[in-house]
Structure 1
Amino acid sequence: MDLRDSLDLLMFAMLCVVLLTGFPVAFTLAGIALIFGLIGMAFGVFDFGFMAALPQRIYGNMTNDVLIAVPLFVFMGTMLERSRVAEELLENMGRLFGRLRGGLGISVSVVGALLAASTGIVGATVVTMGLLALPTMLRRGYDPALASGSIAAAGTLGQIIPPSIVLVLLGDQLANSYQRAQLDQGIFAPDTLSVGDLFAGALIPGLMLVVFYILYQIVRAALDPKSSPAMPADDTLTTAELYRRTLRALIPPVALIVAVMGSILGGIATPTEAAALGAIGSILLAGDRLQGMKFPARLAALSLIALLILTWAMDLRTARSEISDADRAGIWLAYALCAGVAYGLLACLIRLLGGKVLSDVVQSTARITSMVFVILIGAALFSLVFRGLGGDDTVREFLTAVPGGPMGAVIIVMAIMFLLGFFLDFIEIIFVVVPIVAPILLMMGVDPVWLGIMMAINLQTSFLTPPFGFALFYLRGVAPDTVTTMQIYRGAVPFVLIQIFALAVIAMFPALATWLPKLLFSGM
């Protein structure tokens, strides 16, 4: 093969090599793109006119309503991390399930699912549970590998259980790919794919994964009782008191989950609007834990819930020529409820700002969001140059030549993404790999929602696969010295196999991912 015909492949290979050196991702993407763009111009195989599309792409990304959900969900997760929701959940769930063999492992999986649906930030979840649950599990005689693997795997549930930042970013990339695939097929009135479709599609697979984790804990406890012994009952608490404390710890995060996901799945709000709702809810939850803030926080929370119900039940639009008396009364009630939300929110913000909680959360949100968007700009440049060097044609020829048709192509793509997950971050894979392969797979007739869920679960494994799984690094940073790195790696392997099994189940039964979105958004 002539060198000039293989520049696209060399470009991708060089990207992987440089990323492994630890050089910043955004600069690597942009730098490799510029270098190979210049090399392509020197060989006469790249038209620098492709670069003219870069400013428009950057502007489009910065003004994309869907991507506004990213900083809002990050803010929500970071604020909830500081409000000690995880601590209360772990403590009470541990007491509730701990009397059973494998009970502490089950409680970690349940709490991981709840935190995933309320925070969605893997690092915060793994670190929090590593600090709180891991010492308890080790003290109760749990196998260090099992305890480590349980915590790391439960922490990664935030990647698949909505609302998830992975699904927001993946949904945006797949929506663009789906539209492009249809236009290339001559369909000039293309169907659309929304982040809400992926949220609905991920709900059943995400819960299925939690069930698989719990089943593994139960089976492991039955086959090897010494690895996960039961915890002695706490005689200082009556059963009624235990249930009361557990409910008190459960109700706030569950209420927030229902408000955010219910508003999306019920068609009341878009994912971006629901993210704003979640950010407000997290502020109120944090405020509720401050002395003297319970009344303003709870008034605002109840007003917010009433406002959601009112929005669902009535037409509150004011820009109408005719408004009935009932709707007019509903509009004025909505104004009063908004005032209640504003009062409670302002009171909580002032107290959180005084305690420096708000400034820390805002700075953390700004850092994470900036990282995502800078990588997005670098990936846009990389994608343009890769396409200009004929990379799309190379990938299309390869995937269409794979035996087995569309399913064979999907299996190859899943295998490549799985292997890349050993070395690359999920953001890099979403922004670099997905725009290259997704349009081709979608042109082959693959369902976009099913493909998105398959990719999301595959990307979730990248947090658990040694040697560079981020969840493993987070846990290593907070684990006691008695837990070795090899024990953490060994504990993660069964959960990686569980995720691969979940991928196989969804591949065999696509309706697990496609049934709920069709039911909710297509009326089928």
Structure 2
Amino acid sequence: MELLFLGILVLLMITALISGFPVAFSLPGSSIITIGLAALAGWIFADNPDAYFHEGGPVQWLSAGVTNFRSLYWNVERDTLIAIPLFIFMGIMLQRSKVAEDLLVTMAQLFGPVPGGLGISVVIVGALLAATTGIVGATVIAMGMISLPAMLRNKYSHSLATGTICASGTLGQIIPPSIVLIILADQLSNAADQASAMRKAAYREITGEFSMPSVLDITSASAGDMFMGAFIPGLLLVALYILYILFTAIIRPKMAPPIGYSGAYDRQFLVKVLMALLPPLTLIFVVLGSILMGVATVNQAGAVGAVGAMLMAGYRLHDRDEKRYWPAFIAISAVICLGFIVANFNLNIKSINTDEDRLGVTLGLIASAALLMAIAWSGWRVFKTGTTLHEVMGETAKTTSMVFIILIGAAMLTSAFRAFGGEELVKHMLTSLPGGFWVQFFVVMVVIFVLGFFLDFIEIAVVVVPIVAPILLADPSANVTAVWLGVMIGLNIQTSFLTPPFGFALFYLRGVADQVVKTLSIYKGVVPFIGLQILALIITGFFPSLVNYLPNRTYLTSESAPPPMNPRIQPCLEEQVLTLYANQKISLVAAIDSMAAADTSYVSSAAAQMLDDSLTKARQTFVKVESIYQAKAELTDFEQNYEPLHQQVREIQLNVRRNKRLVEDAKLQLRRLDDIELNADRRSNLAIRIDELGLLNQRLEASIPAVWATQRPIFEKLNKAEKQSRNQYRRNADEAYEGITEMRLWISQAPELAELEPGVAELAANIDQLDAKDAMSAIKLQERNLGEFAGVSSIKSKLSKARRALKGSKYNPEKAKGYHSEAMALLTAEITWRKRALTDMVPALVSYDLAIKDSIGLRLQERMSDDVATTVSACMASHKDISLQF
């Protein structure tokens, strides 16, 4: 019965959408009606409103929908959605202020003489507008009204002209900042959490271990990561468009003839180009650059973009006097001043202590006031120019409301879909497909592509993604990142604007195109660009580093980058280090030998022993590395024959677990059917189903090859040996480098340690002149002071014995002075050798540290160098099969 109501849910939704009923009401309406029908049918026919739900009941699933609704607004972790109205405002403001028009006209004049130059200029402007507006409708309409007449006048093919405009207008869906990327990031964040729970449960069920190593966990996605991940694929798509137009213009010149520019390419034209290009390019750099460099969050960057668009509109719409650029000039000056003030003054109001701090805060307030004045001035200009501000605010409110209402409706629909077992059904269908992850992924991509013929990108993102993304992300055989999956879905969804019959970009252009342009020409024109989008999708799929590299690089080189000790980066970090050992073994051994040859005759026995242990472990590093190579080779050799067996058995076990869940579901339904007379047939069918599944599981378990019982333990043993070899290497390398860092710390503390010597020396007089309690307090104080230094435990021990010799009935000042004398002798000797080491040994230690810090000592550095981070980023950008760990 659950499948019946699942079909009713889908049928209601499709019928509502096809009939033109608003999406915002179609999604939740279908959900509420279907849940109500299921509850009513259960109450009438089974005397239980919960009877026809996969699990739970109508109240629980309606509550789940409400919870999802509340989480859109009250869940702090999903505050990225706040950026949506900010970017929408930025895009509409730039479009209404005619910045896009200036850009199009100027680019057409610049590239016109090149074969296909007008089309290329449309693509470039489309990319620039995508990075500033991200609004498909506004971009297509603006370019259709400005560029299409010019292209038609200059004998451009109707199909090529319209296809170029439509395709360029859709770039805003993949080039950040993009609303669809923000929505996908929000949906994938939840999907990654679900996938992580699924993977951990599978790991626990298969291995019996309750804690899964973090290196096997899912890599989630934030909006900032999505922006960075989509950046290179977006540029790839732009390059494909330009190459296609250029190739077409060269092969068939009549389709895209070059256009001469009647004016002169002089200084005045250069100024015109710069004035058209620099403001939007600056805005792109500020908005995207602040995100990519980790300076601002997506929300903060959205606010900056909205303010920047307001400033640009302020001078573009106001051209009546010489003060046209004053607000923008004041704002730029204020921002520069604020940057200088932040870099040179302490602006933390809670810690103002000096006149300099007060000056910095005062200057900051003045600069902030100037910036606010410039923004208010620009806002007033926009407000007074016709109804521009009113229209922009109204469009922003309507578009934002539409997005959020659809998100709420999709949350209700997803809840209802899960209520009738839809998620389990989809999971079963996908996981039962032969071919593993890539077949599942291909099917999902095809479904999304087909849905794009009929549904809007938001509907696909919020309805399909929450259902299929957890299943795809949880699969360890591909181990894809959420960012990569999101960008792939984003590229696929982009085609929904071009695919007939409901391609919105086609409708937008049809609405502004001249009647001489036939609708069929528009449809024909977008076909090659749909093919280019699919080609970009294929390229991105085969080369995941195009997506994953930039987010990894930005993260690993940022101020908040994890230390090299971080477990998640160890596999790639060790890949880099092991290569370095192979290339630099001779120089590393020479550095160790050079350090070992240093004169240590004057240092303390503890320091000498520590240095000797450190160098011994440094030499053992190469033995540990060989152990890793050997263990890895043995494991790799075994995996070649073991992997097919593993996949076969895990597939059988997956089916067994799935059948067991079906048995549990059937038993649950059986317990719900209390009335034997009314439900006798239903109970009989369920009992038969349970017996059939039990027999099927017996046959499945019997089909597991007998060799599995011997091969799996061998794999586990080899896998454990490989992990142990790596852990032994890590522990050995850390201890080798810790000795050097500790030695340098001991020596560096020589001057401060020497300052304690007079105070410790006075303790002898204190023992003679003070009573026992005061003398013990004085000794205790010196013990505390020594506690701040490394390598002085023996001195502290002597002082502690001296203090105890003055305690209570054990009071013995002579014995205390004896211990104090020993402490003084140790302290003097310690200070002496450390001071000598400052000049005699530190240069050798520094040279040795420089030689090994990027290899033996890499894990204990505070952060990776940019070169190492770049290499590790490239390594982490590729997907690695980890299915054998499950």
Q: TM-score, normalised by structure 2?
A: 0.57
What code does the residue aligned with 2:455 have?
Answer: L
Is 1:360 the counterpart of 2:358? The answer is: no
By how many angstroms is 1:420 displaced? 0.2
Q: Of 62, 70, 76, which residue of structure 1 is paired with 2:84?
A: 70
Contact 2:220 2:483 in 1 (8 A): no
Is 1:110 the counterpart of 2:124? The answer is: yes
What code does the residue aligned with 1:238 have?
Answer: Y
Is 1:417 the counterpart of 2:448? The answer is: yes
Contact 2:122 2:168 in 1 (8 A): yes
Q: Of 530, 536, 547, which residue of structure 2 is paired with 1:496?
A: 530
Alignment of 1:228-239 (within 5 A): 228-234=256-262, 236-239=263-266
Query: Which residue matches 1:156?
Result: 170
Query: Which residue matches 2:67?
Result: 56
Alignment of 1:387-406 (within 5 A): 387-406=418-437
The separation in 1 between residues aligned to 2:481 and 2:308, in whole angstroms, is 34
Query: Which residue matches 2:496?
Result: 462
Is 1:249 the counterpart of 2:276? The answer is: yes
Q: Of 299, 316, 319, which residue of structure 2 is paired with 1:272?
A: 299
Query: Which residue matches 2:233?
Result: 205
Contact 1:40 1:389 in 2 (8 A): no
Alignment of 1:293-308 (within 5 A): 293-304=324-335, 307=338
Is 1:285 the counterpart of 2:315? The answer is: no
Distance change (3 Å), C-alpha of 1:320 and 1:406? farther
Query: Which residue matches 2:142?
Result: 128
The separation in 2 between residues aligned to 1:379 and 1:23, in whole angstroms, is 15
1:371-400 per-residue CA deviation (whole Å, 9 max, x = no partner) reads 111111111111111111111101111111
The separation in 1 between residues aligned to 2:266 and 2:395, in whole angstroms, is 40
By how many angstroms is 1:6 displaced? 4.4
By how many angstroms is 1:321 displaced? 5.0
SS in 1 for 2:464: helix
Contact 2:176 2:230 in 1 (8 A): yes
Moved more, 185-194 or 378-387: 185-194
Alignment of 1:33-44 (within 5 A): 33-41=31-39, 42-43=41-42, 44=51
Contact 1:281 1:301 in 2 (8 A): no
By how many angstroms is 1:82 displaced? 1.3
Q: Of 374, 380, 383, which residue of structure 1 is paired with 2:405?
A: 374
Q: Of 41, 49, 52, which residue of structure 2 is paired with 1:45?
A: 52
By how many angstroms is 1:5 displaced? 2.8
Structure with higher RCO (Cα < 8 A, 6+ apart) = 1
Larger Rg: 2
Distance change (3 Å), C-alpha of 1:310 and 1:114? farther
Contact 2:338 2:364 in 1 (8 A): yes
What code does the residue aligned with 2:371 have?
Answer: V
By how many angstroms is 1:145 displaced? 0.6
Distance change (3 Å), C-alpha of 1:321 and 1:344? closer
By how many angstroms is 1:55 displaced? 2.9
Alignment of 1:436-475 (within 5 A): 436-444=467-475, 445-475=479-509
Is 1:348 the counterpart of 2:346? The answer is: no
The separation in 1 between residues aligned to 2:10 and 2:363, in whole angstroms, is 57
Distance change (3 Å), C-alpha of 1:238 and 1:12? same
SS in 2 for 1:45: coil
SS in 1 for 2:280: helix
By how many angstroms is 1:326 displaced? 7.5
Counting aligned pairs with the same residue, the percent is 46
Moved more, 336-345 or 298-307: 298-307
Query: Which residue matches 2:199?
Result: 185
SS in 2 for 1:35: helix
Contact 2:5 2:34 in 1 (8 A): yes
The separation in 2 between residues aligned to 1:222 and 1:163, in whole angstroms, is 34
By how many angstroms is 1:307 displaced? 3.9
The separation in 1 between residues aligned to 2:490 and 2:123, in whole angstroms, is 19
What code does the residue aligned with 1:455 have?
Answer: I
By how many angstroms is 1:301 displaced? 3.1
Moved more, 441-450 or 483-492: 441-450
By how many angstroms is 1:349 displaced? 1.2
Query: Which residue matches 1:334?
Result: 364
Query: Which residue matches 2:5?
Result: 7
Query: Which residue matches 1:259?
Result: 286
The separation in 2 between residues aligned to 1:250 and 1:324, in whole angstroms, is 45
Contact 1:293 1:347 in 2 (8 A): no
By how many angstroms is 1:319 displaced? 6.3
Contact 1:314 1:327 in 2 (8 A): no
Is 1:100 the counterpart of 2:137? The answer is: no
Contact 2:159 2:524 in 1 (8 A): yes
Contact 1:75 1:365 in 2 (8 A): yes
Contact 1:293 1:348 in 2 (8 A): no
The separation in 2 between residues aligned to 1:230 and 1:326, in whole angstroms, is 62
By how many angstroms is 1:308 displaced? 5.8
By how many angstroms is 1:310 displaced? 6.3
SS in 2 for 1:118: coil
Distance change (3 Å), C-alpha of 1:121 and 1:484? same
> How many residues are matched?
520
1:225-254 per-residue CA deviation (whole Å, 9 max, x = no partner) reads 0000011231x3234332221111000000
By how many angstroms is 1:351 displaced? 1.9
The separation in 2 between residues aligned to 1:399 and 1:446, in whole angstroms, is 16
The separation in 2 between residues aligned to 1:413 and 1:492, in whole angstroms, is 23
Contact 1:101 1:221 in 2 (8 A): yes
By how many angstroms is 1:316 displaced? 6.2
Query: Which residue matches 2:712?
Result: none
Distance change (3 Å), C-alpha of 1:449 and 1:142? same
By how many angstroms is 1:99 displaced? 0.5
By how many angstroms is 1:15 displaced? 1.8
What code does the residue aligned with 1:304 have?
Answer: V
Query: Which residue matches 1:226?
Result: 254
Distance change (3 Å), C-alpha of 1:418 and 1:68? same
Moved more, 192-201 or 149-158: 192-201
The separation in 2 between residues aligned to 1:38 and 1:238, in whole angstroms, is 70
The separation in 2 between residues aligned to 1:73 and 1:251, in whole angstroms, is 20
Query: Which residue matches 2:745?
Result: none
Contact 2:347 2:360 in 1 (8 A): no
Contact 1:284 1:298 in 2 (8 A): no
Contact 2:220 2:481 in 1 (8 A): no
SS in 1 for 2:239: helix
Distance change (3 Å), C-alpha of 1:177 and 1:319? farther
What code does the residue aligned with 1:336 have?
Answer: I
Q: Of 541, 544, 566, which residue of structure 2 is paired with 1:510?
A: 544
SS in 1 for 2:177: coil
Contact 1:288 1:298 in 2 (8 A): no
The separation in 2 between residues aligned to 1:326 and 1:259, in whole angstroms, is 30
